[in-house]
Amino acid sequence: MTISLIIMAAYFLDRLIGDPRWLPHPVIGMGYAISALEKAIRRQVSSDRGLKRAGILLPFLVAGGSFAVAWGLLRLLAWIHPWLSVGAEIVLIATTIASKGLKDAGMAVYRQLQVGDLPAARRELGMIVGRDTQQLDEPEIVRGTVETVAENIVDAIISPLFYALIGGAPLALAYRAVNTLDSMVGYKNEKYLHLGWASARLDDVANYIPARLTAVMLVAAAWMFRHDAARSWRTVKRDARLHPSPNSGFPESAVAGALGIRLGGYNVYHGVRSFRAYMGEGLRPLESEDIRHTIRLMFTVSSMFAGLCLLGAAGCFALEWIQ
């Protein structure tokens, strides 16, 4: 079975069951490993220079270890029986993506807004964002949800599938390790400025191509659903690089342009107010239906990428048949 078909199977497995709580998840293991390594490093190193050097070592150990464990497991299973390896690779790749989880999280906020329960909507949003949500009104709750879903189209779906296409489950898991490192230590604060700098930079590099590819596919998806694809493309070109992240601005600006809304603005993190550059023109007020529109765009883009993988597999079969 080609990697393209394995990716298709993994994608639909995630769409079907997501991440069941009873199934051990590799990211949890990565999180434990990162915490243990951080404690070990801080016991041995205290200087800024030492932490910076250790920061280079950290992603090599975690991402490299994730790659090696997955590669070794698949080789062992292939030695027992090839189909065991195929089945394991499908499951492992499925654990690196989160299309169902992203949809469920967004729709949880949407449902609370539909019944007018703002406190519950704020709590649901607080489960998926780092900003303070206790005082947000409905448009700001919608903005936070749309931004999170749009941004995570890259991190939680397209990037892991992209790396699975290149290097199978081992490389997809290595990417997930890099992404987990960024979420745990990749902060520009006093605690992680030196230890986490390499993890944050590596995450930026890893998402560079997938983020731009996602923006192009979002423009195509906007055209398919009769949103304003031309405005979506203009907004990407104008606003994407204004985002503090070198990658997150691409999906966010594409969605903002497609829906005619404005993302970005003031957020509060642990009581501190912070401004994020505006994305889009704000031709109309944000409303709860924008969450559903964004989720539909997310599923369209992820299905589009999986479909491209299937076309690649069909092309390979055709070439083999001709030869």
State the residue for tokens 């394995």.
6
Nearest 5°: phi and psi at 127? -75, -20
Q: Is the pLDDT at 319 greater than 60, yes or no?
A: no
Domain boundaries in the chain?
Answer: 3-321
Q: Dig out the tokens for 120 from the structure.
A: 């519950």
Q: Measured between alpha carbons, how far is 174 from 77 in angstroms, rounded to an integer?
A: 19
Ranges 24-28, 61-65, 166-170, 231-235: which has the least confidence: 24-28
pTM: 0.93
Q: Measured between alpha carbons, how far is 207 from 218 in angstroms, rounded to an integer?
A: 16
CB 91 within 8 A of CB 20: no
Q: Dig out the tokens for 148 from the structure.
A: 């999170």
| pLDDT tens figures, 148-207 | 999 999 999 999 999 999 999 999 999 999 999 999 988 888 888 888 899 999 999 999
In this prediction, residue 5 has a pLDDT band, given cuts at 50, 70 and 90, of confident
213 three-state secondary structure? helix
**DSSP assignment of 117-160:** -HHHHHHHHHTT-SS--TT--HHHHHHHHHHHHHHHHIIIIIHH
Q: Dig out the tokens for 204 from the structure.
A: 């930026």
- Mean pLDDT score, 194-221: 95
Q: Which amino acid makes up residue 173?
A: L
Residue 76: count other Cβ atoms within 10 Å of its Cβ.
12
Q: Dig out the tokens for 144 from the structure.
A: 């936070």
| pLDDT tens figures, 119-130 | 999 999 999 998
Q: Dig out the tokens for 16 from the structure.
A: 């079907």
| pLDDT tens figures, 75-84 | 999 999 999 9
Radius of gyration, alpha carbons of the chain: 20
Residue 68: count other Cβ atoms within 10 Å of its Cβ.
13
210 three-state secondary structure? helix
The maximal CA–CA distance of the chain, rounded, in angstroms, is 65
Q: Measured between alpha carbons, how far is 171 from 150 in angstroms, rounded to an integer?
A: 23
